[in-house]
């Protein structure tokens, strides 16, 4: 009976482990947003996205604040990612069609009419 009561309790270690996973997930999402932004704003340069990813990894080695298990560093990463999303807009984090703008039929029709007139 005592064993079942002990087995049902959560220990502090389990809570710490869940928090570490949550902090890691938040940092990973923030890094993904930043790397995507770099990729999209360098005309799809995989090399620059790769170098930025490595810069994030090297920074984590030398600045203890940026380690993924340190919540202050992850909060800073999330704030930077939030600033990027607010400044550039969430539409800039997705790939655009090859034409640059969405190929809306109404926009294409208006463009064709203007070209015929002018």
According to the model, what pLDDT value does residue 34 have?
Answer: 92
Distance CA 54, CA 52 (A): 5
Between the alpha carbon of residue 82 and those of residues 15, 31, 40, 71, 111, the distances in Å are: 27, 11, 16, 16, 35
Question: What's the whole-model pTM score?
Answer: 0.64
Query: What is the total residue count of the chain?
Result: 118
Per-residue confidence (pLDDT) for residue 108, from 0 to 100: 67
Question: In percent, how much of the chain has pLDDT > 70?
Answer: 71
Measuring CA to CA, which residue among 66, 95, 93, 68 is closest to residue 82? 93
Helix, coil or strand: residue 42: coil
What's the rounded Cα separation, in Å, for the pair 68 and 72?
A: 9
């Amino acid at each position: 009976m005592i064993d079942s009561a002990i087995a049902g309790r959560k220990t502090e270690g389990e809570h710490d482990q869940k928090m570490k996973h949550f902090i890691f997930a938040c940092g990973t999402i923030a890094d993904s947003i930043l790397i995507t932004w770099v990729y999209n704003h360098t005309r799809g340069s995989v090399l620059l996205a790769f170098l930025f990813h490595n810069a994030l990894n090297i920074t984590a080695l030398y600045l203890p604040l940026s380690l993924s298990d340190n919540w202050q560093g992850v909060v800073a990463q999330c704030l930077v990612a939030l600033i990027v999303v607010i400044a550039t807009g969430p539409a800039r984090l997705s790939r655009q069609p090859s034409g640059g703008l969405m190929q809306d039929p109404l926009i294409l029709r208006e463009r064709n009419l203007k070209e015929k007139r002018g």
